[in-house]
Structure 1
Amino acid sequence: MALETERSKKILIQARQSLIIHAKTLIMKTLRVTLLYLGITSLMATSLQSQSDDFDDGNDNGWTKVNTLAGQGVPATWSFPNGNSYSIAMEGHGIEPLGQPRAGSFIQNIIYQNFYMAVDIIFDPSIDQNMGVLARVKEPGLQTLDGYGAVYNPRDADPGGRLYILNINDEAGTVMAQADIEGDVEENFRIVFRGKGPELKTELYNQADLLNPVATVEVFDESHESGFLGIFSVSDDVSVPIDVTFDNYIAAEEEPYRFELIGATIEGNEMTIEFYSKPGIIYSIEESTDLKLWEEIDDSIEGELGDRTSFTVDYLKGESKFFRFKSFGEE
């Protein structure tokens, strides 16, 4: 009897696992088109080695605070505004030999070679400070920290500031590439930094449009092969403070796969819909006029090389249609 019970439990567990896997393959996204109106939902999948923190728990467990000036008697503070974000601050100290106020936090339990990282940043535009993320970091300490920095300063250029990629050796940052920002940057923006071998790229986004960056900087460099990742700020003068708030941090070995609508264009009686995809993944497309009866258009659309795929359907101006597409996993 005990053996039979154990066997029944195993069968039940296997059945549940199959159901979960099956459910994942049937996650659907619906697109409604009425004239030029588009409604969308999205799905993101992260890579196996990844880290994330939205700070909604009001703590920084897992993070290592770094204040390279602590031994010189200059304090920094880490706090949690509204209990759901992460602030790093330091007052201006006015001591030239110590260099500018600076502080950060790192997650040191995973070493990355290739990396993708993104974080939302809220800042005070009246403070002349550089804020952003660090990658492939080693030896964080006074005049020892090495790595790469993706940094934004809102006051280095008009009207929108300047975005940099830095090569950091012994805490001294050298600008390798930069871009002036022509438009305005919101006081709550997102910075993205990625590295694949020697290829480094950073992008800056306004929260109102997380698909199209307001600035992009790219560079090729082989100085630092691996290290951990983190967030930081450094002011532009010893008398200037730092005060930056971070939120929605994510890090992974590669950019998370996004199954998400990009947009649609209509030409004559045809509509082309473009969505984020992944090579080797098979997608199916269905259409409906009432969200009850669905007609399959194609069940063998293969994700194209790159990160996006498009397909074209018949469209009659003025009609209301719904489209949904499914991801069926790799071939």
Structure 2
Amino acid sequence: MVIKPNVRFFFTCLMIAGCLSTTHAATFDDFNDGIDDGWRRYNPIPGKFSFPIESGSVAYKMESPWGSLLSPGRIGSINMNEPAHTKFHVEADLLNWTYNWGEDIGLLARMQEPIPSFFLPKGYALLLRNDKDGNPASRRLMIVKSMGGISLPVFLTKGQGRLMVPAPDPSGDYRLKFWSSGGFLWGQIIDKSTGAAIMMSDGATYTDRISAAEDGAYPSGRSGLIAYVHIVSYRAEGVSPIFDNFYSGTDAPSAPSP
């Protein structure tokens, strides 16, 4: 007896499998429910997670104190709502942060598991840095690699993003974008009041995005949010960024954020 394949059934199964495989291909969280289910908190100091009203909607605030010279303030949240990605696109609104110098805040990608409870997790990050004396001119956007343990993050973008025009200010609303494409990691910051990317300079030329060549250290991993104190030579305020409208997937969202 010859069994003829049911072609229609076969393609139906393929379509269902395709839908199932893409169900968790991207996640979006506006935090309007006031909870962070599906997120793994990274909170070694410890700090505080809350859901304040910011810019007219419920948002996600992560607060960490200054800490100490041996254990500086740091706090984060890892998105566990989707599988680890190789190709990634991560975005989030940055609505406010501590008006302080010595802080790094931003997006995580290709975070390695298990997520540590004390040291910084391994992976890549797009960071907005407040440096020196808090002067807006000293703020910069950068892509770094965290190697975990007691190792300091490695700067992958060198002099890029050193000068930002206009410099982001905590009173404004911005959107951070971090993605991989064509053998590079890319980063951008959008001014939500205009919808335009903030221009950045390496001291010679201006661009609307920064980039770093893939180094192969972390081929895949999870996404998330991070903030930490990088200047610990004196007692400072700590960090307290407010994020909203988090998106993570393999490609850019089909619709812009609210």
CA RMSD of aligned residues (A): 2.4
Give percent identity, aligned residues only: 21
Distance 1:182 1:61, change over 3 A: same
Structure 2 portions without partners, runs of 5+ = 1-21, 201-208
Which position in structure 2 is the counterpart of 1:79?
A: 50
How far apart, in 1, do the equivalents of 2:40 and 2:33 lie? Answer: 17
Which letter maps to 1:79? S
Q: 1:52 aligns with which of 19, 28, 31?
A: 28
Q: Give yes or no for contact 2:25–2:249 (8 Å, CA) kept in 1.
A: yes
Which position in structure 1 is the counterpart of 2:192?
A: 207
TM-score normalized by structure 1? 0.58
How far apart, in 2, do the equivalents of 1:179 and 1:127 lie? Answer: 19
1:103 aligns with 2:83: no
Which position in structure 2 is the counterpart of 1:247?
A: 244
Which letter maps to 2:77? S
Q: Deviations over 1:68-100 (max 9, x none)?
A: x2xxxx321100002710000011122x222x2
| Bigger-Rg structure (1/2) | 1
How far apart, in 2, do the equivalents of 1:197 and 1:145 lie? Answer: 25
SS of the residue corresponding to residue 159 of structure 1 reads helix
How far apart, in 1, do the equivalents of 2:23 and 2:137 lie? Answer: 37
Distance 1:58 1:158, change over 3 A: closer
1:124 aligns with 2:118: no
Which position in structure 1 is the counterpart of 2:107?
A: 133
How far apart, in 2, do the equivalents of 1:256 and 1:60 lie? Answer: 21
Q: 2:210 aligns with which of 197, 214, 217?
A: 217
Which position in structure 2 is the counterpart of 1:165?
A: 143
Q: 2:119 aligns with which of 115, 135, 143?
A: 143
Which letter maps to 2:137? P
How far apart, in 2, do the equivalents of 1:243 and 1:190 lie? Answer: 16
| Equivalent runs, 1:222-237 vs 2, <5 Å | 222-237=216-231
| Equivalent runs, 1:252-291 vs 2, <5 Å | 252-257=249-254
Q: 1:184 aligns with which of 167, 171, 176?
A: 167
Q: Deviations over 1:223-260 (max 9, x none)?
A: 2100000001011234331111110111111112359x
Which position in structure 1 is the counterpart of 2:178?
A: 193
How far apart, in 2, do the equivalents of 1:93 and 1:102 lie? Answer: 8
How far apart, in 2, do the equivalents of 1:56 and 1:103 lie? Answer: 21
How far apart, in 1, do the equivalents of 2:30 and 2:108 lie? Answer: 18
Q: Report 1 or 2 for greater relative contact order, CA contacts < 8 Å, sequence distance ≥ 6.
A: 2
Q: Give yes or no for contact 1:125–1:154 (8 Å, CA) kept in 2.
A: no
Which letter maps to 1:179? G
Which position in structure 2 is the counterpart of 1:175?
A: 155
Q: Give yes or no for contact 2:97–2:242 (8 Å, CA) kept in 1.
A: no
How far apart, in 1, do the equivalents of 2:213 and 2:98 lie? Answer: 31
Which position in structure 2 is the counterpart of 1:266?
A: none
Distance 1:135 1:52, change over 3 A: same
Which is strand-richer, 1 or 2? 1
Which letter maps to 2:230? D
How far apart, in 2, do the equivalents of 1:149 and 1:165 lie? Answer: 6
